[in-house]
């Protein structure tokens, strides 16, 4: 058993991949909770696909593609906010439009600029190819985002649950809004190499929504979600190593299984274990016993 756990760690690429996966498991779980609470889970998917034009342009210009991805992802959130503020269009419709528009622009730019960007890696990730610089960048992004969330937790909590009240109390809600979107974009950019844009939303939402079924407070959701994210990342990496399957898909599959377990067996909200279901089962059993006496 010990050799089974230690063997993957003998390879440097696996050590870097596991460290990156652990950091992103924490970061995605914490940041994703704000999307869950605001019922904006689809925003993660929008930003994840909106970074493609930035990747194509950055690759063509020979600059850091992650910088291009961050700029373009952030721009997409500004466009959504602008459409919403300048019209009667609802935010979900604006997000759908931006999603398709930015994705189409990215595909066109990849073709027109004759970019050699690996779309397969962009879509599905390749955590085993992370370099030392990638690990350092992930450490910095994780540390910066988590420290800022810790410092401004009360303001973020107030804004998340009552944006109108936060605005009335004098909080800079626009700044908070775009700061949160910036944190989400950074998280997605950092996660692209791990699971790719197709699966990144699952890593953002899965651990948090699983924790939501088990605890009540936001800070508890963040803590438990981080634990779930770390466990899923490590387990997924080991599954990937021993079964020779894509790492990103393995990580997300573990996240999905844990969510289903919580959905079915959560002590308070589980389909099979919530109080009303337990009482109903007991009542049905009692009726059965009365109708079928020994």
Note the pLDDT of residue 62: 85
Question: What is residue 262's predicted lDDT score, i.e. its pLDDT?
Answer: 93
What are the tens digits of pLDDT across the range 174-198? Answer: 888 888 888 888 888 888 767 777 6
Asked if 138 contacts 23 with a C-beta cutoff of 8 angstroms, the reply is yes
pLDDT by residue (tens digit) across 70-129? 899 889 988 988 898 888 888 888 888 998 999 899 889 888 887 777 667 777 777 777
**DSSP sequence for the chain:** -HHHHHGGGGSHHHHHHHHHHHHHHHHHHHHHHHHHHTT-HHHHHHHHHHTHHHHHHHHHHTS-HHHHHHHHHHHHHHHHHHHHHHSS--HHHHHHHHHHHHHHHHHHHHHHTT----HHHHHH--GGG--HHHHHHHHHHHHHHHHHHHHTHHHHHHHHH-HHHHHHTT--HHHHHHHHHHHHHHHHHHHHHHHHHHHHHHHHHHHHHHHHTT--SHHHHHHHHHHHHHHHHHHHHHHHHHHT--HHHHHHHHHHHHHHHHHHH-TTT-TTTSHHHHHHHHHHHHHHHHHS--
Q: Which pLDDT belongs to residue 16?
A: 87
Choose the weakest-confidence range: 211-215, 242-246, 259-263.
242-246
Q: What are the structural domains of the chain? A: 2-291 (1.10.3470.10)
The gap from C-alpha 73 to its chain's centroid, in whole angstroms, comes to: 15
Q: What is the mean pLDDT of the chain?
A: 84
Distance CA 144, CA 186 (A): 10
């Amino acid at each position: 058993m010990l050799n089974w756990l230690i063997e993957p760690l003998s390879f440097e690429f696996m050590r870097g991949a596991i460290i990156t996966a652990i950091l992103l498991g924490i970061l995605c779980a914490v940041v994703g909770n704000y999307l869950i609470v605001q019922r904006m889970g689809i925003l993660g998917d929008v930003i994840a696909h909106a970074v493609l034009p930035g990747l194509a342009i950055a690759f063509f210009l020979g600059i850091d593609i992650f910088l291009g991805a961050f700029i373009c992802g952030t721009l997409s959130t500004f466009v959504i906010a602008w459409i919403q503020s300048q019209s009667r269009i609802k935010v979900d419709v604006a997000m759908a439009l931006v999603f398709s528009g930015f994705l189409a622009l990215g595909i066109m730019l990849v073709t027109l600029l004759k970019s050699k960007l690996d779309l397969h890696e962009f879509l599905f990730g390749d955590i085993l190819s992370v370099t030392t610089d990638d690990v350092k960048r992930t450490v910095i992004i994780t540390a910066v985002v988590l420290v800022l969330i810790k410092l401004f937790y009360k303001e973020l909590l107030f804004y998340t649950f009552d944006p109108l009240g936060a605005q009335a109390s004098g909080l800079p809600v626009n700044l908070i809004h775009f700061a949160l979107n910036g944190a989400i974009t950074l998280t997605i950019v950092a996660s692209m190499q791990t699971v790719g844009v197709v699966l990144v939303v699952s890593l953002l939402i899965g651990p948090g929504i699983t924790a939501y079924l088990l605890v009540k407070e936001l800070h508890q959701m963040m803590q438990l979600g981080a634990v779930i994210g770390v466990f899923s990342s490590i387990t997924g990496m080991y599954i990937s190593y021993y079964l020779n399957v894509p790492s990103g898909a393995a990580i997300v599959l573990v996240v999905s299984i844990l969510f289903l377990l919580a959905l079915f067996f959560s002590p308070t909200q589980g389909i099979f274990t919530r109080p009303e279901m337990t009482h109903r089962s007991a009542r049905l059993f009692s009726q059965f016993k009365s109708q079928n006496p020994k």
